Structures are given as C-alpha cells and as structure tokens.
C-alpha cells in the first residue's frame, strides 16, 4: 500500500479529484477536516479539553459541540484559536497515523490518500510515502471560490496570503498534478501515476 498526501491551495479541486480516485482505485481517502470534526465529538480525544477551554456555552442541547458557537468564540481571539489548534491538530495527526498503521497491517488497499490544508506545515511528509501537489492556476481558483462559495475578492486575497506559495508547495512535494485544464486531462495524469505504481507492485510480487 502506498500512502500519499495530497495538498494544494484553496479552490484547487482536491475533493473532486480524490472522489475520482476513490471511485476508480482500491483506495481509502482520509480528509483531515472530517477527522477534525470527529475528534470533537463526545467521548473523543478533544471533547473534554475543548469544553474546559471554551466553556459549556459552545454545546448544543444534545451535548455536541456547536460549530458556529465555537467558531464565533475562537476567531475573535487569536490566542484562543492557537490553543484550540494545539488541541485539535495533534489529535488529528494521531488519528491519521493510527489509520495508516491499521491499513498497512490489514494489507487490503493499494492506496491511502491523506488530504489536509496544512499537510506540509503539519509535518505529514514524515508520515506519508510521498506528497502530491494539486496545482490549479490562481485565476481559476478565484473563479471557483466566487461561484461555489460566494467569496469576495477581499476574502480570497486574505485566504491566499495565508497559504503557501506555489514554489513552496512544489518544493515540498515530489509529484505535481496540474488541474488547470479539462478534468479529463487531470484524470489522465492521476491514472498515469497510479497505474505505474500498480504495475511496479505487481512486478515486485512476481519477483518475490
């Protein structure tokens, strides 16, 4: 099983590409954002710590953490945001590391993809076998964010400034997939890499 981390700027189209991979290949996709919500649920790693830090007013009637109330509280306070990230990010990484270990032991998958906005900054290069950068031209990403999320130019500027540059993404990743053209062209790039891995895997098994 090959473990691949996929990263890229906001609006690059990571979810769509990973959906294609999931449908076509014997693979599992782990989205760090989804794990971050999971570890905040009652009984999970971050639940009690977040309540102690933020107070019971962030809870819904059923005991779940209310995303909106939590977001409202932490984004108005940079120190609180830092403390919350210090609770959630290690828990997410631990969950993903354990999932990788489980799948390696199980030996049923060909590929395990990890998607996270902060894949590089979070040190996931040491956890995965290789890092992929999904590149999409900035003007295309801007259009997508305006159409799909109704973001203003000002908000997009703010997000882009907070993320790594194209050069930083490329230098940290061994594979770059260009998603600026037609989807079929992107899929062809994906297929070429993954089919190559599968061919090498089969070849190695025959040589054993």
Cα–Cα distances (Å) from 200 to 9, 104, 173, 203, 204, in that order, read: 30, 18, 21, 5, 6
Max Cα-Cα span within the chain? 61
Residues 8 and 41 in one domain: no
Q: 103: which residues sit within 8 A by CB, 6+ positions away? A: 1, 28, 109, 112
- 43 forms bridges with which residues in the sheet? none
- Consecutive 10-residue averages of pLDDT for the chain (208 residues): 95 94 98 94 93 93 92 87 93 96 96 92 93 95 91 90 93 96 96 94 76
Is residue 206 domain-resident?
no
In the prediction, which pLDDT does 200 show? 86
Per-residue model confidence (pLDDT) at position 202: 83
Q: How many CB atoms lie within 10 A of CB 35?
A: 20
Are 119 and 103 part of one and the same domain? no
Domain containing 121 — which CATH number?
3.40.50.300
Can you give the pLDDT at residue 208?
A: 60
pLDDT at residue 76, as a whole number: 80
Global pTM reads 0.89
Task: Give the number of domains in the chain.
Answer: 2
Range of the domain at 47: 35-108
Residues 145 and 75 both lie in one domain: no
Same domain, 22 and 114: yes
Residue 19 in domain: yes
Distance CA 53, CA 82 (A): 12
157 with 189, same domain: the answer is: yes
């Amino acid at each position: 099983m090959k473990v691949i981390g996929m990263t890229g700027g906001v609006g690059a189209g990571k979810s769509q590409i990973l959906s294609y991979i999931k449908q076509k290949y014997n693979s599992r996709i782990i989205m760090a954002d989804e794990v971050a919500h999971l570890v905040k649920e009652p009984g999970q790693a971050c639940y009690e710590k977040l309540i102690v830090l933020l107070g019971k007013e962030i809870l819904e009637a059923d005991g779940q953490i209310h995303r909106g109330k939590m977001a409202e509280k932490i984004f108005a306070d940079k120190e609180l945001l830092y403390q919350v990230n210090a609770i959630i990010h290690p828990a997410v990484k631990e969950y993903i590391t354990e999932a990788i270990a489980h799948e390696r032991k199980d030996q049923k998958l060909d590929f395990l993809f990890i998607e996270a906005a902060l894949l590089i900054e979070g040190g996931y290069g040491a956890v995965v076998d290789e890092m992929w950068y999904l590149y999409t031209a900035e003007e295309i990403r801007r259009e997508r964010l305006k159409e799909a999320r109704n973001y203003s130019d000002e908000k997009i500027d703010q997000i882009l400034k907070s993320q790594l540059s194209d050069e930083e993404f490329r230098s940290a990743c061994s594979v770059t997939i260009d998603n600026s053209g037609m989807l079929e062209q992107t899929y062809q790039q994906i297929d070429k890499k993954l089919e190559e891995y599968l061919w090498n895997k089969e070849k190695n098994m025959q040589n054993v």
